[in-house]
Structure 1
Amino acid sequence: MKIKQLENGTFVVDFQGLYGTSMDLMLKKFILKLNKDDIAEIIIDDSFTYENLIMLMNDLGCEILQNKLKKGTFSIKFRRSITTH
Protein backbone atom coordinates (compact mmCIF):
# COMPACT_ATOMS: atom_id res chain seq x y z
CA MET A 1 0.00 0.00 0.00
CA LYS A 2 1.56 3.27 -1.12
CA ILE A 3 0.32 6.37 0.66
CA LYS A 4 1.18 9.78 -0.72
CA GLN A 5 0.31 13.26 0.45
CA LEU A 6 -0.74 15.84 -2.12
CA GLU A 7 0.25 19.51 -1.99
CA ASN A 8 -3.16 20.39 -0.55
CA GLY A 9 -2.54 18.01 2.37
CA THR A 10 -4.89 15.24 1.20
CA PHE A 11 -3.58 11.69 1.66
CA VAL A 12 -4.13 9.39 -1.33
CA VAL A 13 -3.92 5.60 -1.57
CA ASP A 14 -4.73 3.31 -4.49
CA PHE A 15 -6.69 0.18 -3.50
CA GLN A 16 -7.16 -1.15 -7.04
CA GLY A 17 -6.72 -4.92 -7.25
CA LEU A 18 -7.50 -5.60 -3.57
CA TYR A 19 -10.66 -7.47 -2.60
CA GLY A 20 -12.46 -9.00 0.38
CA THR A 21 -10.70 -9.41 3.70
CA SER A 22 -7.38 -8.02 2.45
CA MET A 23 -9.21 -4.87 1.34
CA ASP A 24 -10.87 -4.51 4.75
CA LEU A 25 -7.58 -4.96 6.61
CA MET A 26 -5.70 -2.51 4.37
CA LEU A 27 -8.47 0.08 4.70
CA LYS A 28 -8.47 -0.20 8.48
CA LYS A 29 -4.65 0.01 8.55
CA PHE A 30 -4.76 3.10 6.32
CA ILE A 31 -7.45 4.83 8.39
CA LEU A 32 -5.59 4.13 11.65
CA LYS A 33 -2.50 5.84 10.20
CA LEU A 34 -4.49 9.05 9.76
CA ASN A 35 -4.87 11.62 12.49
CA LYS A 36 -8.32 12.83 13.54
CA ASP A 37 -9.64 15.28 10.91
CA ASP A 38 -7.08 14.28 8.25
CA ILE A 39 -8.62 14.24 4.78
CA ALA A 40 -7.84 11.27 2.53
CA GLU A 41 -8.88 9.85 -0.82
CA ILE A 42 -9.18 6.23 -1.90
CA ILE A 43 -9.24 5.09 -5.54
CA ILE A 44 -10.85 1.76 -6.47
CA ASP A 45 -11.98 0.09 -9.70
CA ASP A 46 -14.69 -2.35 -8.52
CA SER A 47 -18.29 -1.25 -7.92
CA PHE A 48 -19.12 -4.09 -5.50
CA THR A 49 -16.01 -3.44 -3.39
CA TYR A 50 -16.73 0.29 -3.60
CA GLU A 51 -20.11 -0.16 -1.87
CA ASN A 52 -18.54 -2.37 0.80
CA LEU A 53 -15.81 0.23 1.35
CA ILE A 54 -18.37 2.98 1.95
CA MET A 55 -20.14 0.82 4.57
CA LEU A 56 -16.85 -0.12 6.25
CA MET A 57 -15.70 3.50 6.30
CA ASN A 58 -18.94 4.53 7.98
CA ASP A 59 -18.46 1.73 10.55
CA LEU A 60 -14.93 3.02 11.23
CA GLY A 61 -16.24 6.53 11.93
CA CYS A 62 -15.27 8.26 8.70
CA GLU A 63 -17.18 11.17 7.21
CA ILE A 64 -17.60 10.77 3.44
CA LEU A 65 -16.88 14.15 1.83
CA GLN A 66 -17.14 13.19 -1.83
CA ASN A 67 -17.46 10.08 -3.96
CA LYS A 68 -17.45 10.02 -7.73
CA LEU A 69 -17.00 7.78 -10.74
CA LYS A 70 -14.51 8.79 -13.42
CA LYS A 71 -13.52 6.55 -16.35
CA GLY A 72 -14.60 3.35 -14.54
CA THR A 73 -12.71 4.25 -11.37
CA PHE A 74 -14.34 5.27 -8.10
CA SER A 75 -12.82 7.97 -5.92
CA ILE A 76 -13.86 8.36 -2.28
CA LYS A 77 -12.75 11.46 -0.38
CA PHE A 78 -13.24 11.24 3.38
CA ARG A 79 -12.20 12.57 6.77
CA ARG A 80 -11.27 10.50 9.81
CA SER A 81 -13.69 12.11 12.22
CA ILE A 82 -13.59 9.90 15.32
CA THR A 83 -11.18 7.52 16.98
CA THR A 84 -11.38 4.00 15.56
CA HIS A 85 -10.58 0.72 17.27
Structure 2
Amino acid sequence: MKEAGVIEAAVVGVPSRAWGETPVGFVVLREGARDPATIMEAVNARLGKTQRLAAVHVIDEMPRSHIGKLLKTDLREEAVRRGGID
Protein backbone atom coordinates (compact mmCIF):
# COMPACT_ATOMS: atom_id res chain seq x y z
CA MET A 1 0.00 0.00 0.00
CA LYS A 2 2.94 2.29 -0.57
CA GLU A 3 0.85 4.35 -2.97
CA ALA A 4 -1.75 4.93 -0.24
CA GLY A 5 0.79 6.61 2.05
CA VAL A 6 0.93 3.80 4.61
CA ILE A 7 4.16 3.87 6.62
CA GLU A 8 3.36 0.92 8.85
CA ALA A 9 0.43 -1.46 9.28
CA ALA A 10 -0.70 -4.24 11.63
CA VAL A 11 -3.77 -6.45 11.89
CA VAL A 12 -5.20 -7.95 15.05
CA GLY A 13 -8.17 -10.18 15.79
CA VAL A 14 -10.82 -8.65 18.04
CA PRO A 15 -13.85 -10.32 19.63
CA SER A 16 -17.03 -10.35 17.55
CA ARG A 17 -20.44 -11.66 18.56
CA ALA A 18 -21.23 -12.54 14.95
CA TRP A 19 -17.94 -14.25 13.99
CA GLY A 20 -16.14 -15.05 17.24
CA GLU A 21 -13.22 -12.94 16.09
CA THR A 22 -12.78 -10.44 13.27
CA PRO A 23 -9.68 -8.73 11.80
CA VAL A 24 -9.08 -5.02 12.44
CA GLY A 25 -6.25 -3.04 10.89
CA PHE A 26 -4.13 -0.23 12.30
CA VAL A 27 -2.07 2.05 10.09
CA VAL A 28 0.45 4.84 10.53
CA LEU A 29 0.08 7.22 7.61
CA ARG A 30 2.21 9.83 5.86
CA GLU A 31 0.93 13.39 5.80
CA GLY A 32 -1.79 13.80 3.17
CA ALA A 33 -2.36 10.05 2.83
CA ARG A 34 -5.65 8.51 1.76
CA ASP A 35 -8.46 8.13 4.24
CA PRO A 36 -8.86 4.83 6.14
CA ALA A 37 -12.04 3.86 4.24
CA THR A 38 -10.17 3.99 0.93
CA ILE A 39 -7.31 1.94 2.37
CA MET A 40 -9.72 -0.65 3.78
CA GLU A 41 -11.51 -0.92 0.44
CA ALA A 42 -8.21 -1.48 -1.41
CA VAL A 43 -7.03 -4.10 1.10
CA ASN A 44 -10.34 -5.96 1.23
CA ALA A 45 -10.42 -6.18 -2.58
CA ARG A 46 -7.30 -8.36 -2.35
CA LEU A 47 -8.48 -10.63 0.47
CA GLY A 48 -10.85 -13.57 0.71
CA LYS A 49 -14.28 -13.08 2.27
CA THR A 50 -13.28 -14.49 5.67
CA GLN A 51 -10.05 -12.44 5.81
CA ARG A 52 -11.49 -8.99 5.12
CA LEU A 53 -10.93 -6.19 7.61
CA ALA A 54 -13.90 -5.02 9.66
CA ALA A 55 -12.25 -1.64 10.31
CA VAL A 56 -9.04 0.32 9.80
CA HIS A 57 -7.88 2.76 12.47
CA VAL A 58 -5.27 5.46 11.97
CA ILE A 59 -2.79 5.88 14.83
CA ASP A 60 0.23 8.14 15.30
CA GLU A 61 2.65 5.31 16.05
CA MET A 62 2.61 1.57 16.67
CA PRO A 63 2.92 0.54 20.32
CA ARG A 64 6.22 -1.21 20.95
CA SER A 65 8.01 -2.80 23.88
CA HIS A 66 11.33 -1.48 25.14
CA ILE A 67 13.08 -3.88 22.72
CA GLY A 68 10.98 -2.78 19.75
CA LYS A 69 8.49 -5.65 19.58
CA LEU A 70 5.03 -4.71 18.31
CA LEU A 71 2.50 -4.90 21.16
CA LYS A 72 -0.53 -6.43 19.48
CA THR A 73 -2.31 -6.76 22.83
CA ASP A 74 -2.28 -2.95 23.07
CA LEU A 75 -3.70 -2.70 19.55
CA ARG A 76 -6.42 -5.23 20.40
CA GLU A 77 -7.36 -3.24 23.51
CA GLU A 78 -7.44 -0.03 21.45
CA ALA A 79 -9.75 -1.64 18.86
CA VAL A 80 -12.13 -2.79 21.60
CA ARG A 81 -11.99 0.66 23.23
CA ARG A 82 -12.90 2.34 19.92
CA GLY A 83 -15.84 -0.04 19.56
CA GLY A 84 -18.09 -0.29 16.53
CA ILE A 85 -17.12 -3.89 15.70
CA ASP A 86 -19.63 -6.71 15.84
TM range (shorter): 0.3 to 0.5
TM-score, structure 2 as length reference? 0.32
- Of structures 1 and 2, the larger Rg is shown by 2
